[in-house]
C-alpha cells in the first residue's frame, strides 16, 4: 500500500518573527512565509516584548493565509497543525498558539505543540534529506546555547548549555558596545570580515576541563573593558578588529566543545542550528574541524537558521508520527525544557 502523504501547517511566533509554513512529510517545504519585525525593534536596540505581541497579532492572519496560498493547499488538506509553545516571550508565544488552537478547533485537526529548539535542530532534516540521528547538535541563538546529543528523532540529551549569556546575546551586546546596533550578529559578522582577528587577545572561556557548558558574559565584559580602556587612554578603537577578535574567541570555544562532545559520544555527524549558525566564521570553522575529524557536517541555509516555521513543521511531523497530540488546553511555556512536554 502506498504511504499517505502528511501535510502540516506550522506556526511560529516565539520572538520577533511571525512565521507560517506548509511542510510535506516533514522535509519538503511547500511554503515558508516570514514576517520580520527586526526593523521596528532596531529603533529600541532590542526586542520590546509588548510591541512584538501586538505586531504578531496584526501579522498572523495574513502570514498563515499566504503560507496556505503559496503551498496551493487549503486548511482542510492539512493533517495537523504544529505550533511553537515554548520557550520564548510569553506574550508572543500566546499569539501563535491561540491562532493555531482556533484553526485546529475550527477545521477539526490535531494540534501538535513544538519546542522551539527542537525546531531549530530539525532545520537540518529539511536542508539534508538523508540526514538522520544519531548526531551532535550545537544550537546557538539569541536566547540559547546548547550542546545536544540527538540519539534518535525526538530524543535529546543536553550535554551542556550557557551558564550566563547565550552566544547570540553576546553578539548583540558587544555590537551595541561598539556602536553597531541591533541585531548585532549579522553586523559583527560583516565587520569581522574587514578586521584582524589577532588584533586583541580576548579570553577563551572553556570552564572546567570536562565541561560542555558555555559562558560568554566574561568575554562580553572583556570587550567592554577593552573599549573603555582605549577611550580612557585616548587610543584608537577599530570596530572591525574588535568584531573579528571577539568572534574568534566565540567560534574557537564553540567548535572545540562540539568536536570533543562528538568524539566522547562516538558519533560521526555534527549539526549546527539557531540564528548564530548563520555566522560565516562559525560555519567555515566547524566545516574545517569536521573535515579534519572525518565527520559529516550538516548546516541549514541561513534562512532556515534564523526563526522560521518550516523548521517547526518538520519537528511537528516527527512528533505527530510518534503519536503526539495536544489538547486545546495547551498553554504557552516560556521556560519549556528540551525533551519535556
Ligand atoms: O534563532 P534566532 O533567529 O532567534 C532566537 O531563537 O533567539 O537567533 C537570533 C540571534 C540574534 O542574537 C542574532 O544576532 C544572531 O542570532 N545572528 C547572528 C547572525 N545572524 C543572526 N549571529 C552571528 N552571526 C550572524 N550572521
Ligand atoms: Zn530561534
Render 248-310 in DSSP notation, one character per residue: HHHHHHHHHHHHHHHHHHT--EEEEESGGGG-HHHHHHHHHHHHHHT-EEE---HHHHSS-SH
Output the CA 198–ligand 2 centroid distance in Å.
31
Output the CA 173–ligand 2 centroid distance in Å.
17
CB atoms within 10 A of CB 318: 18
Rounded distance between C-alpha atoms, residue 166 and residue 214, angstroms = 8
pLDDT at residue number 1: 61
Rounded distance between C-alpha atoms, residue 318 and residue 152, angstroms = 11
The ligand 1 atom nearest the CA atom of 280: 26
Q: Which residues of the chain have pLDDT under 70?
A: 1
Rounded distance between C-alpha atoms, residue 1 and residue 148, angstroms = 37
pLDDT at residue number 327: 98
Contact 296, 270 (CB under 8 A): yes
Rounded distance between C-alpha atoms, residue 55 and residue 49, angstroms = 10
Output the CA 11–ligand 1 centroid distance in Å.
19
Output the CA 166–ligand 1 centroid distance in Å.
10
- Cα radius of gyration rounded to whole Å, the chain: 20
The ligand 1 atom nearest the CA atom of 274: 1
pLDDT at residue number 46: 81
Output the CA 136–ligand 2 centroid distance in Å.
18
Provide residues with CB under 6 Å of ligand 1.
15, 141-143, 168, 171-172, 183-186, 189, 274-276, 278-279, 306-307
The dihedrals phi and psi of 35, each to the nearest 5 degrees, come to -110, 110
Contact 314, 119 (CB under 8 A): yes
pLDDT at residue number 162: 96
Rounded distance between C-alpha atoms, residue 300 and residue 138, angstroms = 12
Pocket test for ligand 1, best of 275, 284, 315 (most atoms within 8 A of CB): 275
Output the CA 95–ligand 1 centroid distance in Å.
22
Which residue has the CA at smallest separation from atom 16 of ligand 1? Answer: 275
Which residue has the CA at smallest separation from atom 8 of ligand 1? Answer: 275
Output the CA 302–ligand 1 centroid distance in Å.
10
Pick the ligand that lies closest to the CA of residue 168.
Answer: 1
Distance of CA 323 to the CA centre of its chain: 25
Q: How far is CA 40 from CA 20, 53, 87, 215, 322, in A?
A: 20, 13, 22, 30, 39
Closest alpha carbon to 307 in 9, 26, 37: 37
CA dihedral 241, 243, 246, 247 (to 10 degrees): -120
Pocket test for ligand 1, best of 13, 140, 168 (most atoms within 8 A of CB): 168
Alpha helices in the chain (DSSP H): 38-42, 49-71, 90-107, 116-127, 167-177, 184-192, 217-232, 239-265, 280-293, 302-305, 310-321
pTM over 0.85: yes
pLDDT at residue number 3: 81
Sign of CA dihedral 122, 123, 129, 133: negative
pLDDT at residue number 43: 81
Contact 14, 332 (CB under 8 A): no
Which residues sit opposite 84 in a β-bridge?
114
Amino acid at each position: 500500500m502506498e504511504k499517505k502523504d502528511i501535510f502540516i501547517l506550522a506556526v511560529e511566533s516565539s520572538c520577533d518573527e511571525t512565521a507560517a509554513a506548509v511542510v510535506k512529510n516533514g522535509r519538503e517545504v511547500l511554503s515558508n512565509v516570514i514576517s520580520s519585525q527586526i526593523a521596528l525593534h532596531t529603533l529600541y536596540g532590542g526586542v520590546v516584548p509588548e510591541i512584538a505581541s501586538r505586531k504578531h497579532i496584526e501579522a498572523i492572519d495574513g502570514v498563515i493565509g499566504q503560507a496556505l496560498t503559496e503551498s496551493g493547499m487549503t486548511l482542510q488538506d492539512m493533517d495537523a497543525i504544529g505550533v511553537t509553545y515554548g520557550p520564548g516571550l510569553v506574550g508572543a508565544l500566546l499569539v501563535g498558539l491561540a491562532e493555531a488552537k482556533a484553526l485546529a478547533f475550527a477545521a477539526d485537526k490535531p494540534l501538535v505543540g513544538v519546542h522551539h529548539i527542537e525546531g531549530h535542530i530539525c532545520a537540518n532534516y529539511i536542508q539534508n534529506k538523508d540526514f538522520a540521528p544519531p548526531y551532535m547538535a550545537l544550537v546557538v541563538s539569541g536566547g540559547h546555547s546548547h550542546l545536544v546529543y540527538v540519539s534518535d528523532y525526538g530524543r535529546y540529551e543536553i550535554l551542556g548549555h550557557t551558564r550566563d549569556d547565550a552566544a547570540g546575546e553576546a553578539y548583540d551586546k558587544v555590537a551595541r558596545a561598539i556602536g553597531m546596533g541591533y541585531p548585532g550578529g549579522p553586523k559583527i559578522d560583516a565587520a569581522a570580515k574587514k578586521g584582524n582577528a589577532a588584533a586583541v587577545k580576548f579570553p577563551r572561556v572553556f570552564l572546567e576541563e570536562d565541561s560542555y557548558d558555555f559562558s560568554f558574559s566574561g568575554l562580553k565584559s572583556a570587550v567592554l573593558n577593552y573599549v573603555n580602556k582605549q577611550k580612557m587612554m585616548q587610543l584608537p578603537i577599530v570596530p572591525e578588529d574588535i568584531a573579528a577578535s571577539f568572534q574568534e574567541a566565540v567560534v574557537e570555544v564553540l567548535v572545540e566543545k562540539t568536536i570533543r562532545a562528538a568524539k566522547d559520544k562516538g558519533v560521526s555527524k555534527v549539526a549546527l542550528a539557531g540564528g548564530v549558525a548563520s555566522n560565516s566564521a562559525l560555519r567555515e570553522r566547524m566545516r574545517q574541524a569536521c573535515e579534519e575529524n572525518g565527520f559529516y557536517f550538516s548546516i541549514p541555509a541561513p534562512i532556515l537558521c534564523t526563526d522560521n516555521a518550516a523548521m517547526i513543521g518538520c519537528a511537528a511531523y516527527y512528533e505527530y508520527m510518534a503519536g503526539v497530540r495536544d489538547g486545546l488546553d495547551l498553554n504557552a511555556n516560556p521556560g519549556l525544557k528540551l525533551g519535556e512536554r
